Amino acid sequence: QKEVEQNSGPLSVPEGAIASLNCTYSDRGSQSFFWYRQYSGKSPELIMFIYSNGDKEDGRFTAQLNKASQYVSLLIRDSQPSDSATYLCAVNNALDTGNQFYFGTGTSLTVIP
C-alpha cells in the first residue's frame, strides 16, 4: 500500500501570513506530485504540480520537493480568506502504477481575516 501522509489540521493562519502545508509519501519511486485545493462541498481543483527536486513558484504558491526525504510541501504566501479550504497532496509513480494517483487525507486550512 502506497502511503501519502498529511497533517489533517486544522491549520489556522492570519490573513497575510505564510501557510505551510506538508506531505510525506512512502513510495520512493514516485515521480509526479500534485497539490489540489478542495472547497467545502466542491470537487478538488489542481493548483500546483512538481516533478523535480527544488522549488516551483506560481504566483502566491510555491511547491517544494525533496525526493531524498520523500517530502513535498506547499507554501501559500500572503494568505487570503479565500484560501480557506482543504488541500490534498497526490502522488504518482507512472512506472509502477501507471496513471493511478495516491491521495493524502488533506489538510484543512483556515485563513483568519
Partner 1 sequence: DVKVTQSSRYLVKRTGEKVFLECVQDMDHENMFWYRQDPGLGLRLIYFSYDVKMKEKGDIPEGYSVSREKKERFSLILESASTNQTSMYLCASSFPTKHYEQYFGPGTRLTVT
Number of Cβ within a 10 Å radius of residue 47: 19
Question: Cell numbers at residue 27, please?
Answer: 513510495
Taking the complex as a whole, the smallest distance from the CB of residue 15 to partner 1 amounts, in Å, to 27
Among 21, 23, 88, 91, the residue binding partner 1 under the rule CB under 8 A is 88
Site for partner 1 in 24-53 (CB under 8 A): 31-32, 34, 36, 42-46, 49, 51
71 binds partner 1 (CB under 8 A): no
Residue pair 2/91 in contact by the 8 Å Cβ criterion: yes
Compute how many residues bind partner 1; rule: CB under 8 A.
25
d(CA 29, CA 27): 5
Taking the complex as a whole, the smallest distance from the CB of residue 84 to partner 1 amounts, in Å, to 18
* Residue range at the interface with partner 1 (CB under 8 A); choices 10-18, 53-61, 63-71, 102-110: 102-110
Q: In whole angstroms, how far apart are CA 83 and each of 22, 55, 109?
A: 16, 20, 7
d(CA 34, CA 48): 6
Instruction: Provide the binding-site residues for partner 1, judged by CB under 8 A.
Output: 1, 8, 31-32, 34, 36, 42-46, 49, 51, 88, 90, 92, 94, 98-101, 103-106
